[in-house]
Amino acid sequence: MGQADIFKTFMADFSREYLAQKKSETVTGKIFYEADSNKLLIEVEKPLHQWMILQANETLVYYPETKQAFRLISKVEAVMPFFKIILGCFKEDFGLAQQGYTLAHYEKKGSVLLSTWNPPKNLSKLVGEAILEYDANKLMRIEHKTPKGNLLSRAVFKQHTPFSGYFFPLEVTFSYRSNQDSAEEKVVYIRPQFNAPLPAEIKEFKIPPGVKVKDIEW
């Protein structure tokens, strides 16, 4: 059963706490996702009201108060990491095999299953092995290492809620490391809804007429 067969829509309130270089930021808002169009819409309520629409390789950002809008155009798919990693919870082996990773070995102790995955050859100079930890079919942790075996990133999943044979984590903590820098963020989903009809104003959301959109390629 593929991800598209599991849910068609998703929406929830969320809070996101970000900490880097002793600076912190808390963001709250609402998130909406439509699987058929692979469209993600985020309304940030605090600290600054804005809308973000991610689809294909474009990210549209709109600030209602100032009537400013930007369209970020990238060469790859536009993604929001804290949500993309959630979609991985609904994929077999977090989608690693689909990405070209190969299973190196696994170990099971009671209800806990640990598996180690080798990266595809085309990524082996950039990333090392990946480690998955499941407990009673709940994804608890995923780590990515550098080619030298140092920790590159870690995601820890908590407060799971069941949905269609899977377990959706309501709390996710991410840790990132790059050279001497590090960052951490915690995302909490509140009142998640699966396969509920998206509100009409969300499904048909458009930037008001007259607002100029500035295109930025990156």
Question: Hey, where are the domains in the chain?
Answer: 3-217
Residue by residue, pLDDT tens for the chain (218 residues) are 444 457 789 999 999 998 877 788 999 999 999 988 888 999 999 999 999 999 888 899 999 999 999 998 987 666 666 677 777 888 888 889 988 999 999 999 999 999 999 999 988 888 899 999 999 989 999 999 999 998 888 999 999 998 888 888 999 998 887 666 788 889 999 999 999 999 999 988 889 999 999 988 87
Is 127 strand, coil or helix? coil
**Rounded Cα distance, 106 and 136, in Å:** 15
CA distance 207 to 60: 9
The secondary structure of 5-47 as a DSSP string is HH-SEEEEEEEEEEEETTEEEEEEEEEEEETTTTEEEEEEEES
CATH dotted code for 3-217: 2.50.20.10
Using DSSP's 3-state secondary structure scheme, residue 116 falls into strand
DSSP 125: T
Count how many Cα atoms sit within 13 Å of the Cα of residue 140 in the half-sphere of its side chain: 10
What pLDDT score was predicted for residue 67?
Answer: 94
Question: What is the model's pLDDT at position 2?
Answer: 46
